[in-house]
Amino acid sequence: MTDIGSMLNFTDADLAATMRRAMRLCAVLTLIACGVFGFIQGWVAALACLAGGIISITGLYEWQRLISFVNDKLDGKQTPRTTFRVVSMFFLRLVLAGGMLYVTLKCSHGVPYGLVASLGLGVVALTVESVRLLRS
């Protein structure tokens, strides 16, 4: 059981390490899911699964950057990045992810199962990392 004292000692570096582990886990789960969907439904579903995994991983990366930027601002650290740049890159990633989703769904011809499954891998990776943190 985790006590409150250990949770209060959670630093920004710990958060960054947790997010990196979540991205790594998401990448591994994406490769496994691509293999499974490729074997069961063919290469189109595997590519759709890969596209969803890329969107999940880049989403985790952008959230990590946004969180570190906000933490740096709250701590009063001087950051080389401007607010406009960080926010614009966040929304640019959203637009690119939307475009990737659109193209993937158009090209998959009604086989969205791999895409949908891999889009949830980011949440699965964050959940696994949260459980790991609570258990340690």
How much is the pTM?
0.83
Out of 65-69, 74-78, 92-96, which region has the weakest mean confidence (pLDDT)?
74-78
The average confidence (pLDDT) of the chain is: 86
pLDDT tens, position by position, 109-127:
767 888 888 989 999 999 9
Contact criterion met (CB below 8 Å) for 37 and 114: yes
42 three-class SS: coil
Please, what is the angle between helix 43-75 and helix 83-108, to 10°? Answer: 170
Q: In Å, how far from its chain's centre is CA 55?
A: 7
Please give the pLDDT value at position 124.
Answer: 94
Of 106, 100, 115, nearest in space to 45 by CA: 115
Confidence of residue 7 (pLDDT cuts 50, 70, 90): low
